[in-house]
Chain A
């Protein structure tokens, strides 16, 4: 019965080892203080047990040094733990520049995964080993949480906005994917598998999917179907801003605020265009709230992102169009 019972989880990401190291440090600190207190309490209880019904204790006076000592010492130890934990958290919250982006949409009670090449899967996530993966996630209904214990990462998945996690898997294998934020009846059924594959296997696996073409091309088709292209024209004569080369750069809004064009901004600008109007344009775009689904939204965003890289652009790039920072793949 015990043979199949793990007492320590698998670690299969670059961050797992760092989390485990802090865990062992915390175990050591806890063990030390736990045993110290328990030992003292039991020792005193025996040594100073009441030997006579009328006995009273001996008052021990003083102790300011002791009080200061056991206030400062825990403070110093907790400072160490704080910085250690914060350090790991920084690494978790800052994906590297170059990541493989995968989208996830949670809904009661399943995970919809979309790869940029158009491959879709449900409750399974295939990723290559040794490559940083960034998950961009949202929910269609209630709160969910995308949790992969073997990678030591999780993040809430929130309706109405994008959240992200990133990880780099280190060992091929199958790992648990859990929904960790309670989401209603079948919460405990909202689980799946993360399949980590060797790079070559991953390529083979990818080539088997994507009947509809890449996510960006699906988005491009949608871009035409929704008549976005009548205003967002590739040249600057349209009624809407030129989208090519926009992603990852900043735009100035009416009122002077400057925002960076990221997934969240694109999402908001499609659903509620009037909220943040680019300076120099009229608020003429209709709101697409309730018209496009979360999956379609992701396709549109992926399409706009694809316009950033010159070679995928449908129209020739203007010479001054900034190109994205990363090396071409």
Chain B
């Protein structure tokens, strides 16, 4: 029988101040968990409303303007306030110091500050929401956003601007921590793969996010002061906005999915009880994705008036960035070969991730081929593709990771049976929601359409039905995680029998993480061979 530790970070101080002024990375991770969950359900409820509305071709539930505001706010909230911070700010914050044997991140005060910046950005976005919403699409293309829209563009752009600095500061903290604070003996090639992908993500964040910040600033200056940057009437180029926007927003896709890939590497190793196949290839694939990810933004502009030759180069580079992703998928699959595979919930999410990410990645090839993209871009095919990456990839990775480390975070086990059921519901609901959208896309149904021709209705109804199943699937973990805080079985320090420094300390860990600074003498994922185990 496992015993709950008497001293841990959760009982090191009570009351609201001990949370809101904490500098403990673990408590800050939980602050993020609460805030991010809140925004996830806001963004999710917009999605549900949209899907209900789209069950009929005329869009009978809401008006045109409301529908446009729904998909805009769904995009802004989900991208900037959920997907980008989800894994780094919650799991990364909690795990980076634990995984490298440090007491905290390099800059604990900055870490707390970045949570407050996130909240401030969130408040601006909520302000935009309650005072009428925004209808420009999350992409905020000029000149619609700079000149024509009469909605709350400025507070929404400010929200994006501000929350960007939260990501930057968190990334900066991770980079410095991973460089400077590793435990003795923990060389770069002994780092868990989650840290490699967190590191790569942080580099993208630091280099990419300032560009969207300055872009939002230019949009704001154009709207408020009537400065001219993108206005065609004075010779401005609206396509330049798209270049600036996607210079950040395409790498942002990797900011969202790379951490999930890191989680999957951890899950596959832990639940197969063997090292990740091709460790260094998986590690370098993360860096390759980070670098190549900055060179492919132009594939969002194949029909936007970009030159033919620029499009060719961007197309070629887009195929290149697919390769490290494929390498990762092959390596995870190969890791399962001769593993001791457990079917516990986190592994189910990992398997789900591999399947869905593979579909997302392969459909990316359709969009990278220019002649094909001309037909598919701005249709539901694109919607389906990036939801397979964002929802099928990032959220599967996030939920898988949350289940895996939940015993470490809370000290208690989630209910296994219910959790497996929820994982199954999410997988089925997800595919039912988004697979029909591939077909709709090839049929030519444009995205961001409030009303559509009647022959598309059946596929839309299927998608809407899937969304309701998916919604239930997401509510379940909320409920049983909360339940387990009180009633869950005591986990013990290493309930899954996994390797990694985070499993060597108690669950929940003490505030200073480790009683003595650990000394690392071996690589990650070194499970005793069956023979050794037998002899021992």
A residues near B, CB below 8 A?
A: 1-2, 4-9, 18-19, 22-23, 26, 29-30, 33-34, 37-38, 40-42, 44-45, 48-60, 63, 66-67, 70-71, 74-75, 78-79, 81-82, 84-93, 108, 141-143, 145, 147, 149-150, 152-156, 158-161, 163, 176, 178-189, 191, 272, 289-290
Contact = CB atoms under 8 A, between A and B. Distances in A.
Contacts of A75: 319-320, 323
Given A56-B273, A89-B374, A182 B144 contact: yes
B353 to A, nearest CB: 10
A37 B343 CA distance: 18
Interface stretch (B11-19, B42-50, B416-424, B452-460): B452-460
B371 A87 contact: yes
21 contacts: A1-B458, A5-B455, A18-B371, A37-B333, A37-B358, A38-B358, A54-B497, A54-B533, A56-B530, A59-B275, A60-B338, A85-B371, A89-B370, A141-B143, A143-B238, A152-B374, A153-B374, A154-B377, A154-B378, A178-B446, A188-B59
**3 residue pairs, one from A and one from B, having the closest CB atoms:** A149-B444, A88-B371, A85-B369
B190 to A, nearest CB: 16
A74 B374 contact: no
B252 interface: no
Given A57-B339, A60-B337, 6 more contacts: A8-B442, A22-B371, A67-B281, A88-B372, A89-B370, A160-B233
A41 B338 contact: no
A18 B369 CA distance: 13
Contacts of B379: 149, 180
B280 to A, nearest CB: 9
Chain A residues touching B, majority SS:
mixed
A30 B144 contact: no
Interface of B: 59, 64-65, 68, 135, 137, 139, 141, 143-144, 147-149, 232-233, 235, 237-239, 272-275, 277-278, 281, 302-305, 308, 311-312, 315-316, 319-320, 322-323, 326-327, 329-331, 333-334, 336-343, 347, 351, 354-355, 358-359, 362-363, 365-366, 368-375, 377-379, 439, 442-444, 446-455, 457-459, 497, 527-530, 533
Given A54-B497, A85-B373, A90-B308, A159 B232 contact: yes
B334 A60 contact: yes
A26 B366 contact: yes
Most chain-B Cβ atoms within 10 A of its Cβ — which of A23, A57, A71, A179? A57
Contacts of A155: 303, 305, 374
A55 B329 CA distance: 24
A187 B366 contact: no
Given A34-B359, A57-B338, A70-B330, A188 B323 contact: no
A59 B279 CA distance: 12
Contacts of B369: 22, 26, 81-82, 84-86, 88
Given A93-B308, A183-B144, A82 B319 contact: yes
Contact of B343 (A45, A86, A92): A45
Contacts of A23: 366, 372, 442
A56 B375 contact: no
A41 B305 contact: no
B64 A44 contact: no
B342 A50 contact: yes
Contacts of A153: 374-375
A4 B455 contact: yes
Given A5-B458, A41-B351, A54-B533, A289 B371 contact: no
Contacts of B143: 141-143, 159
B238 A158 contact: yes
B144 A142 contact: yes
A185 B68 contact: yes
A152 B375 contact: yes
A273 B368 CA distance: 39
B234 to A, nearest CB: 9
Given A6-B443, A29-B365, A49 B343 contact: yes
